[in-house]
Chains A and B, each alone.
Chain A
Amino acid sequence: MSLPVQISVPARDAPRIRLDPFDHLWFQVTGTLCNLACTHCFISCSPSNRSLGFLDYEYVIRTLHDSREFAVKEYYFTGGEPFMHPRLLDMLEQTLAIGLATVMTNGTLFRDSTIQRLARMRDASIYSLEMRVSIDGPDAATNDPIRGQGTFARAMAGVKKLVDAGFLPIITMAQTWDHAESESVYRKMRQALLELGYLRPRVKMLPSIRLGAEVARSRGYRDDERVTPQMLQGYDTSNLICSNSRIVSDRGVHVCPILIEQPDSILGQTLKEAASRDYPLRHQACYTCWLHGAICTNASTAAQGREVAVSAASARTQTQDLSL
């Protein structure tokens, strides 16, 4: 169970965010069940955490159908570890018939038959199938203390299987190092992926979300880390995930993937209910979103861009020079 989050302001005092447009629909397909137990997981997923359960296949398909009324643009599949769901591939196939699908995975459970089927459905659809693999460092020394012994090697092997099958996976690294090291970490990860044979590595760095197991690993939010109405003046609220997303779990439809364990995060039992209700930014985790933008979705945000500047561009230019 994750630690309770300090609710810093009463709902009536918190700035409220409306969902407009409803661009991203998330499915928490395996709840909080995962084959790993990462020490920074903001919802403390593990092989024994069943606080959120699996989603029923028929329910996912009905929800996909319902989502069309809202002109949802992108579909995300997360957990826990989505590949632990026996019908994930069927869900992805149905999704790719109507829109882009992204799967967030730890990359450690890829059977050859799974990769082959993913490749077939990717080739059969006009929409993109994005694979996002979480690897929290460019080597075992950085990654394994967080994700578990041997997980770096297993995840990189998973990435190699994807790359060999023609995928361009997005590798996401949750930052557990000092800001000053970010450029170096980014460059090292690109290098590690190049050595794997991934010649066009796509890498995203994510900030720490100070919830769940992460609180014990490093720290929770400080008292001053919260969103005030003043902080929204002149701020582009389309940066906030609650302005464009909702997530479905086996308990209902929540405001965002980060707050999914918070009782007040459920905005309704249907997409329509949850889409029509706005959300007060009362949780301290909202501060991470405010600061960094909607880190959960695929596109990078301005604040992430500040983490590494010139070196990333020059890193790719060097790669191009070698290949030309």
Chain B
Amino acid sequence: MNGIPFAHEHKLCLCHTCGYACQEGATRCPRCDSPVHRRKPNSISRTWAYLIAALIFYIPANVLPVMYTNLLGNRSESTIMSGVIEFFESGSWDIAILIFVASVLVPCIKFLVLGMLLITCQRRSTWAMRERARLYRFIELIGYWSMLDVLVVALVASLVQFRELSTIEPRLGILFFGLVVVMTMFAAMSFDPRLIWDAEVEDV
């Protein structure tokens, strides 16, 4: 494209752990001793696996209740969406938007973007490579903010513990939601953004 040399043209490959330029063919980085690969091994199939696992967990995460509330005899169970709606109706729409973004929008964006990256890389598309690279860095950056809901439930549940009077307890849904976050993080980590640029080179 713009003539910047690729590392593999110079028989070099990058150690992802310490940033050392290793000789191609090395299995371990000579400097930090961690495994080195030209591309992350089985990147595409691993990412698909994590992504599909996350998608499957995403269903119970949204259907099952994440929190059980007993406030002075008012018992209720709330899911992630009902929590957002509750905030919205009580007037604090800013917090409602914050939670909606962190626990609904961010995972959905991750699913869509990773799926799109995987499909375009499999088809060796040269479409919008720079923008796709930027999208990948973006989802790497926003991914872990979805943990917000898990931590909020943990804090609230540990605070409101007044025996019969009022209690808040975590429910099964939060387990699945946490697993969705972990799975999408693994998916983003196992995707190799260098695959986006491989379409530029004929012999890879």
**A-B interaction:** no
